[in-house]
Amino acid sequence: MKEFILNKWLYYLGGFIILSIILFEAQGKGDFNIFISASRDLLAGKNIYKVQYNYYYHYYYDIIFALILIPFTFIPLYITKVFWLILNVFFVYRIWIILINWLPISNLNKKNKTIFTILSFIFIFNLLHVNFHLSQVTIFILYLTLEGLFLINNKKIITGCLLIALGINIKLLPIIIIPYLIYRNEWKSAFYIIVFIIAFLTLPALFIGFDYNKSLIIERWHLLNPMNTEHILDTSERSFHSLTTLLATLLVKNCSNDPYALTLKRNIADISIENLNIIINIIRGILILFTLYFLRTIPFKNTTIKIQKLYEISYISLIIPLIFPHQQHYAFFFIFPATTYLIFYLVYLFFTKENYNIIKNFKTKKISIIITLCIIYFLTNSHFILGEFIKYYNHYKTLTYGVLILMILLAFCKPEILYKNKVISQNNVDVKS
């Protein structure tokens, strides 16, 4: 009885803390001000992809997102942001439920479950915080992607495809889910997603007119076109991170047109923009092909093992902010599945007494994983841990290095070790059909 009362008060305390954070973070304009401003301009018939909001920034998202937000243009921005951040709490909750559904979480005892949960959220805290602070859509996009895949896996194909298509329309990032589904023999799902993408592109025409809708689609493409020089030499803002930005800083001597860029040397070569574009696309291609390593099966064959699904989705989510240009710090919330998988891998394989006899010969590997995770944690959370050096972290793109190391560690921590040593029985991880 005492434990029940204690847990109840802990939930109340947690809810109060979350609500306090929401009420505080909703005070600033954040990026949601851009979304609402673009929605007002859409209502006024303006070219929302030409206008620069908050003096410097473009609206990059789709027309239907701006259309959905029109009712909120008549509500005070603070109230709208509070509502949006509350929704984001729900999105984070659902992301977490989906992630642990793909893990044999029931095999952990209560103590290890608590350790796993706390470490998972500590690891992602900075990226979670910056998304709330800026009222961004990254959490929403990751939620749509994972919820969509979860529903597809549970045979709710139409709903799942609708969610993924909406995420792709809003921010394009989950588009690599389509070839993934094709590889996994989910042809019907891939087809439905494409159909829904087209539907979401044309649907606004019913409200704003065909010609206006068509002109905005064209303008958005001009803005997003990856062949644009600003997306190849992706350094117009010091806070950009991704492979495109990292390679530009390493391979071009005077790559930045950001007036706030530091003068400290960071390039190791000086090549032309044309050659830079070739190198960027080659490395993008390598990262995309490296997905095959994580899929672990021949093409057009699905897997029914939950933890394997999480393993491959973790990698796909992780490379999304790496291969797309113009990515800010908050976009790297997409590493959440990968960090969750790795922390579970560490806690379950190395800190569960039942597995001691199996992993007693893996002491060196255990230490290596812990040290590597600590390095990754610092590189991905340094903006929060030692904020006074942010300009140096951004200058040298330490966040991108942290995610690249995370990718390497993920490649080494294959789920097969759990099956080969019979740590997890396959019956515990089969997806319900």
Average pLDDT score, the chain: 87
Rounded distance between C-alpha atoms, residue 53 and residue 34, angstroms: 6
pLDDT tops 80 at residue 337: yes
DSSP state of 264: S
| Degrees, nearest 5: CA angle 330-333-339 | 145
Q: Check if the beta carbon of residue 330 is closer than 8 Å to that of residue 140.
A: no
Give 128-133's long-range contacts (Cβ < 8 A, gap of 24+): 128/92, 128/333, 129/384, 130/329, 130/330, 130/383, 131/88, 131/330, 131/333, 132/21, 132/22, 132/25, 132/85, 132/88, 133/25, 133/28, 133/30
How far apart are the C-alpha atoms of 127 and 33, rounded to whole Å? Answer: 20
Tell whether the model's pLDDT for residue 20 goes beyond 90.
Answer: no
Residues in the chain: 433
Stretch 165-176: mean pLDDT, rounded?
95
d(CA 79, CA 85): 10
Cα-trace Rg, the chain: 22
Long-range contacts of 74-82 (CB under 8 A, 24+ apart): 77/29, 77/32, 77/33, 77/36, 78/26, 78/27, 80/32, 80/36, 81/25, 81/26, 81/30, 81/32, 81/135, 82/22, 82/23, 82/26
Residue pair 181/174 in contact (Cβ under 8 Å)? The answer is no
Residues 281-317: tens digit of each pLDDT: 999 999 999 999 999 888 888 888 899 999 999 999 9
The one-letter code for the residue type at 426 is Q
| C-alpha distances out from residue 379 to 116, 232, 383, Å | 20, 24, 8
Per-residue pLDDT, averaged over 231-256, amounts to 84
Report the Cα–Cα distance between both ends of the chain, in Å, rounded: 38
Can you read off the two tokens belonging to residue 57?
């920034």
Q: How many CB atoms sit inside 10 A of residue 120's CB?
A: 21
What pLDDT, in 10s, does the model give residues 35-81?
A: 999 999 999 999 999 998 887 788 999 999 999 999 999 999 999 99
- Percent helix, percent strand, percent coil in the chain, to nearest 5: 75, 0, 25
How large is the average pLDDT for residues 109-136?
92
pLDDT for the residue 386: 80
For residue 286, the one-letter residue type is I
The whole-number pLDDT of residue 359 equals 59
Confidence band (pLDDT; 50, 70, 90) for 358? low
pLDDT at 97 over 60: yes
Residue-level pLDDT at 389: 84
List Cβ neighbours of 371 (8 Å cut-off, separation of 6 or more): none
pLDDT in tens, 179-202: 999 999 999 999 999 999 999 999
Instruction: Write out pLDDT tens, residues 361-417.
Output: 566 778 888 999 999 999 999 888 887 788 888 888 999 999 999 999 999 999 887
- Helical H segments across 26-137, by residue range: 32-43, 63-68, 77-101, 110-133
Residue 421 has pLDDT above 80, yes or no: no
- Please report how many Cα atoms fall inside a 13 Å half-sphere around the Cα of residue 403, on the Cβ side: 30
In 3-state terms, what secondary structure has residue 334? helix
Choice between 52 and 226, residue whose per-residue pLDDT is larger: 52
Distance CA 292, CA 265 (A): 36
Mean pLDDT of 152-161: 95
pLDDT given at position 361: 58
